[in-house]
Amino acid sequence: MVTTVEQVREVLASVHDPEIPVLTIDDLGVLRDVAVDGTHVTVTITPTYSGCPAMDEIRADIVTALAAAGLDDAEVRTELAPAWTTDWMSEDGRRKLREYGIAPPGELLLQIGRRPEISCPQCGSSDTEEMARFASTSCKSMWRCRACREPFDHFKAH
C-alpha cells in the first residue's frame, strides 16, 4: 500500500488541540507540513507559545492517530521558525472558536497600553471590556460583555 500526503492529512484532521478541543491542529495553524517518503511519514508542527504545555500531548496524539491508521513509521518534528501567528488560524477555525464561546483573535497588539476591540461571542455586542490580560492559558485573555453580562475568553492576537 502506498501512503500519500492526502491520506496522512485526513488522519491528522482527527487530531485536536487538547486545550481547545473544537479546533484541529490544522485549524489552529500548528500543523506546518506533512512529508511522505515511502512508508515513512514526517509531520512538522510549530508551537503556539514557547512554553505551551499542549505540545507534548499534540505530538503524542499525532503518533497515536497515525499508528491507529496503520502508519507506524511516523516522526514528529518541531520547528520554531517561522514563528506561529494567529493569522494562520483558518476561517473555519475562527468560526468554530466563536461558536464554542471564545472570541477569535482580533488585531495584533502593536502598541503598549492599547486595547483591541472584541465582540462578544454570545450576543455579538461590541460593548465589551477586558477583565484580565491572561486567562486559563497563555493564549487567552478574560473578558466580559456589558450587553448580555456574560464573561468570555478571547484568543489573543499573537
Mark the segment that binds other proteins (CB under 8 A) among 17-25, 34-42, 56-64, 106-114: 106-114
Rg over alpha carbons for the chain, rounded to the nearest Å, is: 18
CA distance 51 to 133: 17
Instruction: Tell me which of 21, 38, 112, 117 binds other proteins, using CB under 8 A.
Output: 112
- Residues in binding contact with other proteins, number by CB under 8 A: 27
Q: Which residue has the cell 477555525?
A: 93
**Beta carbon of residue 116, minimum distance to other proteins (angstroms, whole number):** 12
Mark the segment that binds other proteins (CB under 8 A) among 4-12, 28-36, 47-55, 144-152: 47-55
Contacts of residue 67, defined as CB under 8 A and 6 or more positions apart, other chains included, come to 74
Pull the grid cell for residue 95: 468560526
- Give the start-end residues of each E strand in 40-150: 40-45, 74-78, 102-103, 128-132, 140-145
Instruction: Tell me which of 8, 27, 84, 152 binds other proteins, using CB under 8 A.
Output: 84
Pull the grid cell for residue 43: 509531520
Q: Using CB under 8 A, which residues numbered 10 to 39 contact other proteins?
A: none
Instruction: Tell me which of 1, 2, 38, 50 binds other proteins, using CB under 8 A.
Output: 50
Instruction: Tell me which of 22, 32, 49, 59 binds other proteins, using CB under 8 A.
Output: 49
